[in-house]
Amino acid sequence: MEVTQVLHMNGGSGETSYANNSLVQQKVICLTKGMREEAISSLYRSMLPRSLAVADLGCSSGPNTFLVISEAIKSVEKLCRELNHQSPEYQIYMNDLPGNDFNNIFKSLDSFKEKLCNEIIEAGHGIGSCFFNGVPGSFYGRIFPTKSLHFVHSSYSLMWLSKVPDGVENNKGNIYMASTSSLNVLKAYYEQYQKDFSLFLKCRAEEIVEGGRMVLTFLGRRSDDRSSEECCYIWELLAMALNDMVSKGIIKEEQMDTFNIPQYTPSPSEVKFEVQKEGSFSITSLEVTVVPWNAYDNGNAFDSECGFSKSLSNGGYNVTKCMRAVAEPLLVSHFGEAIIEEVFSRYQQILTERMSKEKTEFVNVTISMIRRA
Ligand SMILES: C[S@@+](CC[C@H](N)C(=O)[O-])C[C@H]1O[C@@H](n2cnc3c(N)ncnc32)[C@H](O)[C@@H]1O
């Protein structure tokens, strides 16, 4: 499987789209707002750039794509008023893999700009010119010119690996690291993560100006155990649905045995270790947050500044939709289109049953860094 060709979230704005099913990720973006504000404000104060280049890596398509960008621009505009400075020009770069629905982003650009201008003007501020750019390509390679970026952000994207690790052929019956995976499988996943993340850091070190900032959020884990339930359980339950279908002869065993998710959910110490080893960035903060699998937990929508106001109580249904928006293209490319409805219907039953008995949450690791001189 060529991950860069196959991996993308469900596009468009329909029922199963990422745009309509990314509340968990939105909640995570809101939880990490303080770290981004600190980073962009201190960056602006220390550099006072006339032109500010901001990149969101793995931006996908949907409301989250613009959330971080608008927040960053608002923070800088507020600061400009406080310091009595003229607004900078903004160069905004939205990056994702080529299969991402960039058209959907571009189509909503005008309404986003209008809304942002109105909000900023209502707050009594002006706004500098904004220039938007789509940047298709893998962030595990160079995607920007040398020393061209001031602020880099990425949320819920860097746990995706550049490829399924080599040497996981014996991970039979599993689709990710699991409690029943052999040690060689756990080691192969970790080594692929190390290779990918250190390459990511090396590329960004070339592209970010000295003193520039980077804030990254990974889906991760707290435990030192790589196959801990806190990061692997969500995929183990999907494997259960697929294995049921193998036992009924709907999916071939060989197909199941050759499917592995190209993801790695690191612990804070693993993230820190790679950053220190690569050496180009100094760490200003490293935090762990948690978010329930069901973004509408307790029947109440998360309704902070993110503005959710719906109330949905069927957790299994919500989580299935969220996971489907993320994993459907990978599953279709490996198993074909025909089994998809049944996979997700079985997955929903399993999720509903487990979530009624167990506390289920995603663990997030966020790191804030400065490009060293
Ligand atoms: C779960 S979405 C997160 C989107 C958005 N940042 C959010 O928080 O809602 C992960 C995104 O990362 C992108 N992605 C994964 N690997 C990537 C890579 N190597 N280069 C660029 N984007 C990548 C995926 O295509 C997907 O759109």
Three-class HEC string of 303-322: CCCCCCCCCCCCHHHHHHHH
Q: Is the CB of residue 59 below 6 angstroms from any atom belonging to ligand 1?
A: yes
For residue 318, give the amino acid letter: N
| Nearest atom, ligand 1, residue 28 CA | 8
Q: Is the CB of residue 17 below 6 angstroms from any atom belonging to ligand 1?
A: no
Average pLDDT over residues 86-111: 90
152, containing H or E segment: strand 149-155
Contacts of 168 (CB under 8 A, 6+ apart): 184, 185, 188, 189, 260
Tell me whether residue 14 is exposed, middle or buried, using C-beta atoms within 10 angstroms of its C-beta: 0 to 12, 13 to 18, 19 or more: exposed
Average pLDDT, the chain: 87
Q: How far apart are the first and last CA of the chain?
A: 39
**CA–CA separation, 340 and 336 (whole Å):** 8
**CA–CA separation, 31 and 305 (whole Å):** 11
367 CB neighbour count, 10 Å cutoff: 23
**CA–CA separation, 323 and 249 (whole Å):** 24
Q: Is the CB of residue 348 below 6 angstroms from any atom belonging to ligand 1?
A: no
66 CB neighbour count, 10 Å cutoff: 23
Q: Which is it for the CA torsion 267, 271, 273, 274, positive or negative?
A: positive
- Residue 306: its pLDDT value, please? 46
Tell me the two tokens of residue 184: 């060689």
Tell me whether residue 325 is exposed, middle or buried, using C-beta atoms within 10 angstroms of its C-beta: 0 to 12, 13 to 18, 19 or more: buried
Q: How many Å lie between the centroid of ligand 1 and the Cα of residue 8?
A: 7
168 within 8 A of 261, measured Cβ to Cβ: no
> Is a pLDDT exceeding 50 seen at residue 284?
yes
Q: Is the CB of residue 96 below 6 angstroms from any atom belonging to ligand 1?
A: yes
% of residues, the chain, pLDDT over 90? 48
C-alpha pair distances (Å), 118 with each of 125, 234, 275, 284: 10, 40, 39, 33
**CA–CA separation, 333 and 327 (whole Å):** 10
- Residue 301: its pLDDT value, please? 42
Residue 123 — pLDDT band, cuts 50, 70, 90?
low
- Residue 335: its pLDDT value, please? 86
Q: Is the CB of residue 157 below 6 angstroms from any atom belonging to ligand 1?
A: yes
Of the candidate ranges 134-148, 151-165, 291-305, the one whose mean pLDDT is the lowest? 291-305
Q: Is the CB of residue 152 below 6 angstroms from any atom belonging to ligand 1?
A: no
Beta bridge partners of 55: 93, 152
DSSP 224: S
Residues 343-361: tens digit of each pLDDT? 999 999 898 888 877 788 8
- Residue 354: its pLDDT value, please? 81
Which residue shows structure tokens 């890596």? 57
Q: Is the CB of residue 160 below 6 angstroms from any atom belonging to ligand 1?
A: yes
Contacts of 349 (CB under 8 A, 6+ apart): 316
Q: How many Å lie between the centroid of ligand 1 and the Cα of residue 121?
A: 31
> Is a pLDDT exceeding 80 seen at residue 184?
yes
- Residue 302: its pLDDT value, please? 44
Average pLDDT over residues 66-71: 90
**CA–CA separation, 116 and 132 (whole Å):** 13
**CA–CA separation, 96 and 135 (whole Å):** 7
For residue 132, give the amino acid letter: F
Q: Atom 18 in ligand 1: which residue has the minimum CA distance? A: 138
Beta bridge partners of 130: 90
- Domains (range + CATH), the chain: 3-371 (3.40.50.150)
**CA–CA separation, 142 and 128 (whole Å):** 28
99 within 8 A of 140, measured Cβ to Cβ: no
Report field, pTM of the whole predicted structure over 0.85: yes
Half-sphere exposure for 328 (CA within 13 Å, toward CB): 21
Which has more pLDDT, 150 or 63? 150
351 within 8 A of 282, measured Cβ to Cβ: no
